[in-house]
Structure 1
Amino acid sequence: MSGEWVHPGQTLFWAVWVLAAATEGPAADAPVRNTRLEWSRGKQATVLGNDMPVNVFLGIPYAAPPVGLLRFAKPEPALLWNDFQNATSYPKLCLQNSEWLFSDQHILKVHYPKLSVSEDCLYLNIYAPPHADTGSKLPVMVWLPGGDFETGSASIFHGSALASYEDVLVVTIQYWLGIFGFFNTRDKHALGNWAFMDQVAALTWVQENIEFFDGDPHCVTIFGESAGAISVSSLILSPMAKGLFHRAIMESGVAIIPYLKAPDYERNDDSQMVADICACNVSDSVALLQFLRAKSSKELLSINQKTKSFTRVVDGFFSPHDPLDLLAQKSFKPVPSVIGVNNHECGFPLPVEFPEILGGSNKSLALQLIHSTLHIPVQYLYLVANEYFYNKHSLIDTRNRFLDLLGDVFFVIPGLVTAQYHRGPCRKVLPLHIFWGLAPTFLPLRKCLPKDLN
């Protein structure tokens, strides 16, 4: 096998990729698989430190192209191919603002594959260990990318290293983003949650076809970070995804994160703005939908940059009730899960959202930002100061504690609440806390640590 080393970039919010060689071998070495819909010809990649090649299949369609009448609609099954599908190139990105993507790369100092965008983007990538053959029944891990439901793709995470070293079959998927993934008219004409329905379609494809790639459809773990983790958590709660996976890993995100629920005034403003652009009555859902389906993708991207509120909604199907209500009512089937958070969870948006404290902050400025960001009444700010800023004198320490507070609000507390609701008579939650520095006083650490860690 011949070729040259390719150094992939980093995944959003992840520290570093393991370097891999995405080298395409001769035709005789190219892996071929027959699914229910098509024959797929892939290529092989070599991971540093492991001489055995990984079988790679890129850009496999899991649903029909979501164009025309399928824009803002439930995804349809992938179309039948009459010939070999050449699964050796990364799929195009789902439509997203390229400036935001470049901003992510600049802030995180990462380099993603340079790919164009398209509305026809419902594809997945598969990475299989070299020894996988018919009947292997390897565990399957399905990666859902993050990016605030505005950016991201299946191809920013290279699954070769995980497949090679951990002996699992890795699937990375991509789904509609922004207004394409969440536009809704609050009625039957456009329910919304299209991004989540894409994910259900991808997991359905995995159930129906992954055995042809030597994976076990009865041993599927879904995992993701940020928006991907929120998606994982949402899929656990959804009746539409029941039975499509068996384990879950949520890295920095769960379904009850506060910012996902847009206030009514924002939703009303955005709906009216779209109606004004369409020259339609905001209550005429059919006319709105027809107009938006006739718009070019470029025009829709322009609208997307002006809206704030098109996010997850209670649609009666994917999300029958508010996620917190679903958790409290235990109206879901829990699966063995891992829920994780990181130090300084909200450090990523710091350069954009809070540039004034990038180099540090005094307590007064930090409390002003807390008041304006979290809408904590002024009379209660002293409680925040006592908890987070007591005996903190340096500007850097104060800034870091500000980030800790935001992390607690948006990630830590929702994660703990979600884990608590996952508990049951036959289900145990084993919390493991690893802290560098001080932990919030409201966490009963000594009570919940395993005995051998107390």
Structure 2
Amino acid sequence: MSFSELYESELSNGRWENSPKPAQHQEGEPDTSVACSPSSVFSWEASHPHLLPLSSQNFLTLDLHGDPRESYPHTPMVIDGVVLPKTPEELQAERRLHTVPYMVGFKKKEFGCFLPTLMGYPLSEGKLNQKTAMSLLWKSYPFVHIPKELIPEAIEKYLGGTDDPVKKKDLFLDLMGDVLFGVPSVIVAGTTKEHASTGPEKGLCRTFLH
């Protein structure tokens, strides 16, 4: 059963009776109404104890204890056949996306600001050793999807050039930034450039990497 079907079922059974009615608004003004109230969310959770409670999900939080392959710190993409008939990668490869101007890129220290703290990375001491770096990268699997057997090689490639634990910490953050932001940006930019050089949008794409 899809979420929309489940929602309609719950609505017909009166489980969402606390949901406020959509507010009336004048044409041309933004609609500020909400879909449900907090009380209705908790009511829905109470009636579905077999599902993960919406209020207790630790979004974007690193799990340092469990198996990272079984951790889901963010909402997964849903290929519903309507909004997303296929994955974005497949749609882009088939050129089934609207042509719109956009900018894609990343900065030098993409993972070096508030993200490590927000996501619970234990880096408050400002230093890191090789063994801990490998453990943290493996625990980051839900975000980076690097297989366990490739962890040592990746860590050696980025951190192997220094024995300074402070520099190792900075290099680990560089690794995370590259995997989470740099590589996806380059892939999207490269695919878009390739399509624009051969398709009807030929000459309209400008790709800059700095």
TM-score relative to the length of structure 1: 0.31
Structure of greater relative contact order (alpha carbons < 8 Å, 6+ residues apart): 2
Higher strand share: 1
Query: Are 1:319 and 2:41 counterparts?
Result: no
**Is residue 353 from structure 1 mapped to residue 125 from structure 2 by the alignment?**
no
Change (3 A) 1:186 1:420: farther
| Structure 2: distance between partners of 1:305 and 1:336 | 37
Q: Conserved in 2, the CA contact under 8 Å of 1:419 and 1:429?
A: no
How far 1:310 sits from its partner (Å)? 4.6
More helix by share: 2
Kindly tell me: are residues 329 and 345 of structure 1, through their superposed partners in 2, closer, same or farther at Cα, counting changes over 3 Å? same
The aligned amino acid for 1:298 is P
Once residues 380 and 306 of structure 1 are traced to their aligned partners in structure 2, the CA distance between those partners, rounded to angstroms, is 32
Question: Kindly tell me: are residues 321 and 378 of structure 1, through their superposed partners in 2, closer, same or farther at Cα, counting changes over 3 Å?
Answer: closer
Say if 2:162 and 2:168, in contact at 8 Å, map to a contact too.
yes
Q: CA deviation at 1:418?
A: 1.2
Distance 1:187 1:352, change over 3 A: closer
2:16 match: secondary structure = helix
2:83 partner SS: coil
Q: Check the 8 A contact 2:133/2:155 in 1, yes or no.
A: no
Residue pair 1:344, 1:400 contacting (<8 A) in 2 also? no
Task: Name stretches of at least 5 consecutive residues in structure 2 with no aligned partner.
Answer: 20-36, 46-52, 58-72
Runs of 4+ in 1 over 6 A off after TM superposition: none
**Match of 1:293?**
16
Q: Report how far residue 344 of structure 1 moved.
A: 2.7
Question: Residues 323 and 355 (structure 1 numbering): CA distance in 2 closer, same or farther, change over 3 Å?
Answer: closer
93, 109, 123: which one aligns with 1:328: 93
Q: Which amino acid aligns with 2:38?
A: K
CA distance in 1, matches of 2:17, 2:156: 55
Deviation by residue 1:263-320 (Cα, 9 ceiling, x = unmatched): xxxxxxxxxxxxxxxxxxxxx6643355553245223278532246655422333322
1:230-269 → structure 2 map (5 Å cutoff): none
Structure 2 residue 10 is the aligned partner of structure 1 residue 186: no
Confirm or deny: 8 A CA contact 1:334 1:422 kept in the other structure.
no
SS of 2:91's equivalent in the other structure is: helix
Normalized against structure 2, the TM-score is what? 0.61
1:148-183 Cα offsets, whole Å, 9 max, x none, are xxxxxxxxxxxxxxxxxxxxxxxxxxxxxxxxxxxx
- 1:341 touches 1:412 (CA, 8 Å); kept in 2? yes
Query: 5 Å matches for 1:26-425?
Result: 186=2, 189=5, 286-290=8-12, 293-295=16-18, 297-299=37-39, 300=41, 303-307=53-57, 310=75, 312-347=77-112, 348-358=114-124, 359-374=126-141, 376-423=146-193, 424=196, 425=198
